[in-house]
């Protein structure tokens, strides 16, 4: 595997950076927004993504017949990392999870309705997998879908749904066969949310309630009370939803937990160590601190390499030369999010008591960044499947170990 970008890829990165310079705006770019918070949640952020769509940068890996360029995944990686490095919105769920799943499994109706909107950034999605009794174990979801004439009646609750308070559509899994093994009785539906200006069917039975997280982010509970979903809004085959979810989670684990913000926080800590003093002595001369920084710098390179491995495996799979990067995505997500927590801990320890001041406090070490990331990085180890789930995937699919339940 080559760890360096080709001249063509470097040229694309330069083009992206120039575009971001031209469109720089503090209301769009905020480096203190961590990974899952880098979403398209404001009109200005939507406007930026629409401009990127006009550049042809959304759906670059999609087949040309659906408006894409059938390009290599490394270009999406370069774009997403450049955006994340500035605290900008990531290319998101529409291009990756929803778009790629619809291309592979969606009906002609769903493709015609959603794919052009995704490429033009005219639609935002929320993802509905987690439930009060089924967090990272998506196969245990119990939102009930009962068959009726022309569609399905949905009843139940989802939780931890990022984006439900502003997205127009809900990509939601529900149990359509309660008698099947738990991973074989789930179906995916596309359901309008209350923010939709003109929903194509009645959604009066949907209620969204906000949840404020320890990372200063807004997520949601979503309740379904006899919500009728017509058959044409079913994604793919009945009872195959968990298979589709599993494939899409590989994308989520990689694209939503980017490397560049973590590296940026490491650079911020290193700069602090270079300039700070402790008891009148340069902090950079403290052997304990130097050892910590050396270990963090090493871990950062490991995280970068694991990310590039996911890109490499994805490109091989797209060319028909390998399996989807399930194991690689879990290895990257596990290592990088746990490393991000270790980095946050080290920033608090090395920065001293002043790091307890809130983010954007000018007189605080690292401008208070350590405090906010200390709280937020815990969320990263949960979203997209907890660290424990990633370990199980690596153990079973990578090492061939048996199930322990």
| CA nearest neighbour of 143 among 126, 130, 125 | 130
State the fold for domain 259-398. Answer: Butyryl-CoA Dehydrogenase, subunit A; domain 3 (1.20.140)
Domain residue ranges in the chain: 7-124, 126-238, 259-398
Q: Which two tokens stand for residue 387?
A: 């660290």
SS (H, E, C) the chain: CCCCCCHHHHHHHHHHHHHHHHCCCCCCCCCCCCHHHCCCCCHHHHHHHHHHHHCCCCCCCCCHHHCCCCCCHHHHHHHHHHHHHCCCCCCHHHHHHHHHHHHHHCCHHHHHHHHHHHHCCCCCEEEECCECCECCCHHHCCCEEEEECCEEEEEEEECCCCCCCCCCEEEEEEECCCCCCCCCCEEEEEEECCCCCCCCCCCCCEEEEEEECCCCCEEEEEEEEEEEEEHHHEECCCCCHHHHHHHHHHHHHHHCCCCHHHHHHHHHHHHHHHHCEECCEEHHHCHHHHHHHHHHHHHHHHHHHHHHHHHHHHHHHHCCCCCCCHHHHHHHHHHHHHHHHHHHHHHHHHHCHHHHCCCCCCCCHHHHHHHHHHHHHHHHCCCCCCHHHHHHHHHHHHCCCCCCC
Mean pLDDT by 10 residues, the chain (405 residues): 83 96 93 76 90 92 92 89 90 87 95 95 92 76 95 96 93 94 91 95 95 83 98 96 81 72 94 93 95 97 93 76 78 94 96 92 91 88 84 89 72
**How many CA atoms does the CB half-sphere of 328 hold within 13 Å?**
21
Pairing label, strands 125-128, 169-175: parallel
CATH node for 126-238: 2.40.110.10
Q: What is the reported pLDDT for 326?
A: 83
Hunting for tokens 């359509």 — which residue is that? 176
Q: What is the reported pLDDT for 4?
A: 82
Distance of CA 393 to the CA centre of its chain: 18
Q: Is 227 exposed, middle or buried (0-12, 13-18, 19+ CB in 10 A)?
A: buried
Hunting for tokens 């939507």 — which residue is that? 46
Please answer whether residues 274 and 356 qualify as being in contact, where contact means their C-beta atoms are separated by less than 8 angstroms.
Answer: no
Q: What is the reported pLDDT for 135?
A: 63
Hunting for tokens 């309660």 — which residue is that? 178
Q: Quick check: do 7-124 and 126-238 share a fold?
A: no
Q: Which two tokens stand for residue 333?
A: 């997500």
**Tally of residues, the chain:** 405
Q: Which two tokens stand for residue 266?
A: 């490491």
Q: Is 24 exposed, middle or buried (0-12, 13-18, 19+ CB in 10 A)?
A: exposed
Q: What is the reported pLDDT for 37?
A: 66
pTM of the model: 0.86
403 CB-near residues (< 8 Å, 6+ apart) = 396
CATH node for 7-124: 1.10.540.10
């Amino acid at each position: 595997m080559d760890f360096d970008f080709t001249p063509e890829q470097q040229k694309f990165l330069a083009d992206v950076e120039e575009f971001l310079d031209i469109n720089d705006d503090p209301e769009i770019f905020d480096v203190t927004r961590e990974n899952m918070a880098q979403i398209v949640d404001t009109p200005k952020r939507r406007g930026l993504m629409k401009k990127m769509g006009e550049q042809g940068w959304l759906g670059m890996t999609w087949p040309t017949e659906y408006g894409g360029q059938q390009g290599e995944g490394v270009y999406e990686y370069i774009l997403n990392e450049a955006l994340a490095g500035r605290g900008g919105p990531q290319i998101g769920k529409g291009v990756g999870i929803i778009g790629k799943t619809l291309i592979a499994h969606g009906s002609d109706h769903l493709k015609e309705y959603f794919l052009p909107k995704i490429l033009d950034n005219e639609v935002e999605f929320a993802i509905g997998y987690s439930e009060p009794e089924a967090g990272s174990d998506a196969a245990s979801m119990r939102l009930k879908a009962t068959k009726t004439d022309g569609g399905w009646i949905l009843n139940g609750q989802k939780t931890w749904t990022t984006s439900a308070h502003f997205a127009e559509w809900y990509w939601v899994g529900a149990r359509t066969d309660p008698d099947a093994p738990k991973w074989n009785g789930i179906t995916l539906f596309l359901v309008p949310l209350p923010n939709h200006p003109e929903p194509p069917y009645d959604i009066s039975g949907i209620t969204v309630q906000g949840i404020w997280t320890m990372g200063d982010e807004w997520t949601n509970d979503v309740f379904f009370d006899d919500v009728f979903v017509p058959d044409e809004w079913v994604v793919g085959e009945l009872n195959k939803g968990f298979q589709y979810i599993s494939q899409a989670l590989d994308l989520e684990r990689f694209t939503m937990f980017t490397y560049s913000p973590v590296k940026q926080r490491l650079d911020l800590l290193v700069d602090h160590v270079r300039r700070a003093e402790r008891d009148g002595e340069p902090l950079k001369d403290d052997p304990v601190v130097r050892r910590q920084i050396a270990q963090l710098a090493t871990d950062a390179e490991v995280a970068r390499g694991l990310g590039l491995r996911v890109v490499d495996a994805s490109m091989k799979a797209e060319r028909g030369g390998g399996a989807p990067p399930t194991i690689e995505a879990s290895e990257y997500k596990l290592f990088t999010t746990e490393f991000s927590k270790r980095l946050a801990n080290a920033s608090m320890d090395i920065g001293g008591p002043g790091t307890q001041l809130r983010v954007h406090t000018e007189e605080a070490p690292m401008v208070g960044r350590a405090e906010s990331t200390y709280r937020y990085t815990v969320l990263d180890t949960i979203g997209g499947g907890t660290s424990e789930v990633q370990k199980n995937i690596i153990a079973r699919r990578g090492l061939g170990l048996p199930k322990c339940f």
